[in-house]
Amino acid sequence: MLSRIIAPVCLSLFLLIPGARAQEPLPVELFAKLPMIGGPSDSTSVTLSPDGAHYAAVMSINGEPALVAVPTDGSKDIKAAMFGDYQPRWVEWATNQHILVSSAFPAQRYGYDTLETRLAFFDIESGALENLLRFKLFGARDVPPFNPQFQDGLVSRLPLKGDQVLVALNREDPGLPTIYGFSLGPRVTGYKVMRYRAGIHNWRQDAAGAVRLGYGFERGMGSYLKPKLRLIFRASEAEDFKTVATFDPRDLAGDAFGIVGFTEDPNVILINDLNEHGRTALYKFDMVKSEVVGTVFSHEKYDVSRAMFEDGTDRLIGVAYMADEPVLVYFDEKEKEDQAGLDRGFPGLRAHIVSRSLDGDKAIARTESASSPPQYHYMDLANGKYVDLGSAYPQLKGLTLSETRPISYAARDGLQIDGYLTVPKGSDARNLPLVVHPHGGPASRDSLRYDYWVQYFASRGWAVLQMNFRGSTGYGDALKSAGDHEWGRAMQDDITDGVRWAIDQRFADPARICIVGASYGGYAALQGAASTPELYRCIVALNGVSDIKGLISDEKYYTNFMFSRDYLSQDDPGAVSPANHAEKVVAPVLVAYSTKDRNVKYDQSTGMIAALRRAGKSVVEVKLEDADHYLTHERHRIAFFQAMDAFLIENLGLGLVPSPEAAGTGR
């Protein structure tokens, strides 16, 4: 029935558009491969050694993530280490010879599923990759009562003390970190710097290597469920810590409040807090006076996302915030000049420096746009030397990809929702088959950045709608907090209102709309299938939630239980659990899940599959054996995309497939 409907619709599109012709879609693998360079996230980007002689990057080798160290002089003395079953989290140079590597892996403790992290160091001379925390590292008599679940709590490098780093580890108390120092010389040694203190869960170190700030929730200063936040501080290592501020969490600016770092004034730190517009701003806070003493940067619409410091110092050089695209605001004149040069050198692309050598003369730059995959470049600024390090997706070289445009619409209660519409290249943007693609999180957001999911959808002739529904981040506390307890309710309404907007604007063919999402986006896809079955032709959910009550119950065994309980729906969670309403689903559903997912238990997916089958509904099950939540390994990513591709083409049909200007070259 479905194929008989789709064929005439596609044919009519070809007949209506002069010069249009049917194209075979590009192989799905072109989009689903792991990034060749840069890793699966910005935190696993490309970073330059302090002397600028090497760069380190997470790269893909035969479809598996690997840490690679490459000389910048063009020599072939390249060293690499595979991550194996571990997930890369971040990489950072500790010395010119050693790279710190954070990774994660699924495990179990006391019968419960956990995600563990480890911190290793990579020696670029020997090519050896070793775990930093090893048995008897602190001496034969040192037998800690706890093996920490999280072992990558880097307090900071010690730039003025050679090869040493400081790491916070819960070795002596399961909830409170002790600070340890590690020397990364020929023989790694460890030593205790500071024993844990009651109520202090986080430590901060200044650029000189001194631990001068601690903060955390002090249970003794309030009830167990409503502890108070305490800050302790010292101006130098010669002084004792003193409590300088105590906050009631109810008086804090929600998730906006945070300790950012130190300044060049030993008594002044940088903090995030809400401005008069309800957006996260950057302020100076005097620890002696216990008060804000100045505004560093504030924006009326967007949250400050990060502060940028000069390597090896506490000197603030700029801030960043996310508008439709990332915006960098530099205070340093040299940074301004270098950024202006990048803007001139890469017109039409967003270009910025992601790493510098300590002397500032060498740098790694990244360029990209929503329709241009990330590309990395090495620059010797002092000598005017420039080397192209490669694209994250070299197999797409020569292809003109589809453009993404910002859109905005009003939700049913009048709230303005920002979003993005991608229209297949060569299309007239009218009555197109549409993929609705809500983001995960949900405490995250979409933006005008390269998205391999979006470009894959557009390559099939489908328009793509993304929206930053309530609960999204980056637009201030009010929008984010508006998502509290609104899973399946107002958050879902925002998605539904976006779909109806696309139909009203004649971008979307109302008979050919599918919703596709992962993680929270997977929940939104399943909830859309149950709550608005008339809207969707098909549904795809990867690692999505289907049972809110079950999710809350599972979380009680973990430290974020109170957050999950308070954030998720408490008023009849079954009403917004798709698995409880499988009988309402009309369209075919593809449910994919990872068996080693530590973010969403895979029984959330199998439970939905079982409910759909009991209700006699059409469901395709895709089991990704040994995969994690993020599909870190290429084999899992390609397997999922191949299954999704076949399912969407069967149910949505191909649109007017864009004609590539050149064939992909592959790897």
Give residue-wise pLDDT tens across range 569-600: 667 888 999 999 999 999 999 999 999 999 99
For residues 483-511, average pLDDT = 96
> According to the model, what pLDDT value does residue 158 have?
61
Counting residues of the chain whose pLDDT is more than 90, the rounded percentage is 60
Q: How confident is the model at residue 127 (pLDDT cuts 50, 70, 90)?
A: confident
- Let me know if residue 462 belongs to a domain: yes
Q: What angle do CA 50, 170, 103 make, to 5 degrees?
A: 45
Within a domain: 311: no
Over residues 355-410, the pLDDT tens digits come to 999 999 999 999 999 999 999 999 998 888 889 999 999 999 989 899 999 999 99
Sign of CA dihedral 633, 635, 636, 641: positive
How many domains does the chain divide into?
Answer: 1
Which residue is associated with the tokens 């969403």?
600
Mean pLDDT of 194-221: 82
What pLDDT does residue 312 have?
A: 75
Q: pLDDT band for position 251 (50/70/90)?
A: low
**Model pLDDT, residue 43:** 56
- 390, part of any domain: no
In a domain, 422, yes or no: yes
Question: Is there a domain that residue 600 lies in?
Answer: yes
As a whole number of angstroms, the distance between CA 483 and CA 567 comes to 8
pLDDT in tens, 641-651: 999 999 999 99
Q: Supply angle C-alpha 424, 428, 434, rounded to 5.
A: 50
pLDDT at 503: 98
Map residue 255 onto helix, strand or coil: helix
Task: Reply yes or no on whether the pLDDT at 565 is more than 50.
Answer: yes
What band does 40 get if pLDDT is binned at 50, 70 and 90?
low
Q: According to the model, what pLDDT value does residue 566 have?
A: 62
Q: How far apart are the first and last CA of the chain?
A: 39
Instruction: Confirm if 377 and 365 have CB atoms less than 8 A apart.
Output: yes
Per-residue pLDDT, averaged over 492-516, amounts to 98
Instruction: Looking at mean pLDDT, say which of 198-212, 516-530, 565-579 comes out highest.
Output: 516-530
* Helix or strand holding residue 513 (H, E): strand 508-518
| Model pLDDT for residues 56-71, shown as the tens digit of each residue | 999 999 999 999 999 9
Identify whether the C-beta of residue 626 lies closer than 8 Å to the C-beta of residue 597.
Answer: no
- Mean pLDDT across 542-556: 88
How many CA atoms does the CB half-sphere of 264 hold within 13 Å?
7
- Does residue 338 belong to any structural domain of this protein? no
Give a yes or no: residue 100 inside a domain: no
**Residue type at position 606:** T
pLDDT, average across residues 9-16: 29
CA atoms 192, 194, 196, 202: torsion sign: negative
Mean pLDDT of 415-425: 97
The residue to which tokens 């080397």 are assigned:
387
User: What is the C-alpha to C-alpha distance for residues 435 and 439, in angstroms, rounded to an integer?
Assistant: 13
State the Cα–Cα distance between residues 595 and 652, nearest whole angstrom. Answer: 28
Q: Decide if pLDDT at 12 tops 50.
A: no
Domain that holds residue 623: 2-32+397-652
Q: Provide the residue count of the chain.
A: 667
**Which pLDDT belongs to residue 109?**
85
CATH number at residue 511: 3.40.50.1820
Q: Which amino acid is at 563?
A: F
Is the backbone peptide bond immediately before 442 cis, with ω within 30 degrees of 0?
yes
Alpha-carbon span 350 to 401, nearest angstrom? 16
Task: Please check whether residue 147 lies inside any domain of the structure.
Answer: no
Taking 50 as the threshold, does the pLDDT of residue 9 lie above it? no
Q: What tokens were used for 546? A: 């289907």
